[in-house]
Amino acid sequence: MSDRWNPETNLVFKALIRAVGTINGLPEQQQERSDRENMLSIVSAMVEGEFPVEGKSVTGRDGFIVCKALGYAIVTEHEDKEDLKQLLENLTKGPLGANYYIDNARSHVYGMAFHDETKH
């Protein structure tokens, strides 16, 4: 599967898988189910060779979902971090847009987790 994709598509696939794993690892009340389901839909379409296809959308908001997945992957993984960040910057037209997704992922993963730890 991955040998037929370009390097950027490989990074997107990895980021989607990592993001789903991250969301699944959060406490139930913190999980963003619709994002997770949209990410899984894109992964499924990628495996079937139906994504990315110019002019075709899997979820109706594929760009947003891919950027969100890249943010999660950047925050939670060290492998390919710089490549993922560069791809996110390219998709969002610069570091300001990329930082939006990275900060949101960081807040979701660590901010709420930190808040939950203080309750115990």
Domains of the chain, residue spans? 2-118
Question: Residue 97: CB partners within 8 Å, gap ≥ 6?
Answer: 67, 88, 89, 91
- Global pTM reads 0.85
The predicted-structure confidence for 64-114, as pLDDT tens digits, reads as follows 999 999 999 999 988 899 999 999 999 999 999 999 999 999 998 887 544
Residue 120 has pLDDT above 90, yes or no: no
The predicted-structure confidence for 15-50, as pLDDT tens digits, reads as follows 999 999 999 998 887 788 899 999 999 999 999 998
- Per DSSP, the three-state class of 52 is coil
CB 40 within 8 A of CB 58: no
